[in-house]
Amino acid sequence: MSMTKDQILAEAMKLEPAEQVQLADAFWRVAHGMSREQIDAEWAAEIRRRIDALDRGEASSKLSDEVVERLRKKVS
């Protein structure tokens, strides 16, 4: 007997947070037809683009504390 999406979600909510992340990652990869290696390659390329933009002075970096504080202000 097949499970409904609501049943699957209910069971997934019983998992440890790390397992939920792994499950979400697996679903995302399946939905987008990408392997872990393809995702890693895409992230590596994006990181390289961002570093290059920083090196050219076309982007700025912010400390994580600044970003977190800005997000806190947005949600309060």
For residues 53 and 51, give the distance between their C-alpha atoms in angstroms, rounded to a whole number: 5
pLDDT in tens, 20-38: 999 999 999 999 999 989 9
pTM above 0.75, yes or no: no
Both 44 and 24 in one domain: the answer is: no
What's the pLDDT at 31?
93
Please indicate whether residue 1 or residue 12 has the higher confidence score (pLDDT).
12
Both 45 and 69 in one domain: the answer is: yes
Both 26 and 44 in one domain: the answer is: no
Indicate the number of domains in the chain: 2
Both 20 and 41 in one domain: the answer is: no
pLDDT in tens, 42-74: 999 999 998 999 899 888 777 777 888 888 898
What's the pLDDT at 66?
83
Both 24 and 41 in one domain: the answer is: no
Domain that holds residue 28: 1-33
Identify whether the C-beta of residue 14 lies closer than 8 Å to the C-beta of residue 21. no
Which is nearest to 25 in space by CA: 34, 3, 16, 10?
34
